[in-house]
Structure 1
Amino acid sequence: MSRINGFIGRRDFLKFVGIGGVTLTAAATGSVFWYAQPAEAAASDTEPDSPDAALQKLLNGNKRFIQHKPEYPHQSQIRLQEVATVQHPFATLLSCADSRVPAEIIFDQGIGDLFDVRIAGNIVTDEALGSLEYAAALLGTPLIMVLGHERCGAVTAAVQDKPLPGKIGSFAKAIKPAVTEVKGQLGDLVENAVVANVRYQVTKLKQSELLTGLVEEGKLKIAGGRYDLDTGEVTIVT
């Protein structure tokens, strides 16, 4: 059996439970059969076997979304019970807290598929980094995507560089290095800064020794994407 961070891999575990479940179902009560069902259902799921496959699975889901052909995977009662006590998300997202960018919907995924870290401007704070490291190192998630989006309010605030009340200015400050990088470039400054900010935050993630080690071992991929509010399409930018 394969192991992830010292634990039996989910696919092998489910196969093991599925084999034993046949005998249990034949000899036990209906309640045991009920518990066997989630394992049998999950055993037929296809899981990404590499970081690149995880990225492709995300993009395939986004394609279904923009084509209005969603499958709504892993949104059943069986799935709810399967992941009630354990999680093995295949992708982690650091995305903006914007209400128009709901990860599970735009990537056509379900319960337990994505580990979401959402913060205005999709910035890397210590707390966000710790969450991403937890997902990669302890949950074995093979993909991290930093996802920015068109017409981001946080990026706009950083571009305008005006005083903001309370702690609102904190995320604008975290984006300013990306704004500085694209000043003077052709095109819309906000849109250029959205992409530059995604790349800047990806660079900050790659300063993590823990994440970099996993990348070097081939266990993790860190990517950056831009979400189009008008079309729903996610484009890889780094």
Structure 2
Amino acid sequence: MRPIGERPSPATVWTELREGNERFVSGAPRHPRQDVDRRHELASAQKPRAALFGCSDSRLAAEIIFDQGLGDLFVVRNAGQVASDSAIASLEYAVAVLDVSVVIVLAHDDCGAVRAAIDSTALESPELPPHIWRLIAKIVPAARSVLRGSEVIDPRELDAELVGRAHLGNTIDDVLASSRLISDAVAAGSLAIVGANYRLNEGRAIPHVMVGLDA
């Protein structure tokens, strides 16, 4: 077990997370660092290795997907992993105070928020509750960009996975543009950002965007 105070490199952390996800996919998770000793170790301090910013979907349980334990991940979630002020502030806390090495931005297929954003672009789409609309409004540009590059006439026929990937890239761009703290950490080599898409059926988190890491 790694001591809490030791800071691994971004490459090391991403490798460990990728290996944990492979254990989960293969059905052989180790469920590490989930015992009484670990709970006691963390009672007075936390030192997570990575932050995960993901969708709130109930099927994206971060520690389970990456086969991690207590205190390993600092998790921030909202519907559609939209780069809201609160989400970015939480990630800044993870970077500046908790000194994480990696931020994972985790999207997934069959995302309800992405589907709502796609459907909202249709002319006859019903009005959404205001709070839901304000959330998914940041996903709409991804839907429109995919629509412009397709031959589809009705936006509701768009491939939601393609829209989700476009939104994933937009989210990372938003985080970097909105937070000098995070962008400076990436530039300094102390932080990496990985944008991945989680496949619900197979359980694999497939990286699509890497900032500060080699593929």
User: TM class, shorter-chain normalised?
Assistant: 0.7 to 0.9
Post-superposition CA distance 1:49-104 (Å, at most 9, x none): 21111111111110000000100001000000101111111110110000011000
> What TM-score, normalized to structure 2?
0.87
How far apart, CA to CA, are the structure 2 residues paired with 1:49 and 1:79?
Answer: 19
1:139 aligned partner: 98
Q: CA deviation at 1:185?
A: 3.3
Q: Larger Rg: 1 or 2? A: 1
- Amino acid of the residue matched to residue 186 of structure 2? V
Aligned residues: 197
The residue matched to 2:44 in structure 1 has which SS? coil
Bigger helix share = 1
Instruction: Choose which of 57, 61, 65 in structure 1 pairs with 2:20.
Output: 61
The residue matched to 1:224 in structure 2 has which SS? strand
How far apart, CA to CA, are the structure 2 residues paired with 1:96 and 1:80?
Answer: 26
Larger displacement relative to structure 2 (189-198 or 61-70): 189-198
The structure 1 segments of at least 4 consecutive aligned residues displaced by more than 6 Å after TM superposition are none
Post-superposition CA distance 1:191-211 (Å, at most 9, x none): 101111111000111112111
The residue matched to 2:95 in structure 1 has which SS? helix
Instruction: Choose which of 158, 168, 189 in structure 1 pairs with 2:132.
Output: 168
User: 8 Å contact 2:82–2:136 — kept in the other structure?
Assistant: no
2:40 aligned partner: 81
How far apart, CA to CA, are the structure 1 residues paired with 2:41 and 2:190?
Answer: 25
How far apart, CA to CA, are the structure 1 residues paired with 2:9 and 2:170?
Answer: 25
Instruction: Choose which of 110, 113, 120 in structure 1 pairs with 2:72.
Output: 113
Determine if the alignment matches structure 1 residue 216 to structure 2 residue 194.
no
The residue matched to 1:167 in structure 2 has which SS? helix
User: 8 Å contact 1:135–1:141 — kept in the other structure?
Assistant: yes
Post-superposition CA distance 1:118-144 (Å, at most 9, x none): 100001001100000000111100100
Q: Residues 181 and 48 of structure 1: is their aligned pair in 2 closer, same or farther, counting only changes over 3 Å?
A: farther
> What TM-score, normalized to structure 1?
0.79
Contiguous gaps of at least 5 residues in structure 2 = 152-156, 210-215
The residue matched to 1:121 in structure 2 has which SS? coil
How far apart, CA to CA, are the structure 1 residues paired with 2:45 and 2:32?
Answer: 18
2:145 aligned partner: 181
2:61 aligned partner: 102
Q: Of the two structures, which has the highest relative contact order with CA contacts closer than 8 Å and spacing of 6 or more?
A: 2
How far apart, CA to CA, are the structure 2 residues paired with 1:123 and 1:215?
Answer: 20
Contiguous gaps of at least 5 residues in structure 1 = 1-40
User: 8 Å contact 1:48–1:57 — kept in the other structure?
Assistant: no
1:201 aligned partner: 171
How far apart, CA to CA, are the structure 2 residues paired with 1:206 and 1:137?
Answer: 14
Determine if the alignment matches structure 1 residue 152 to structure 2 residue 111.
yes
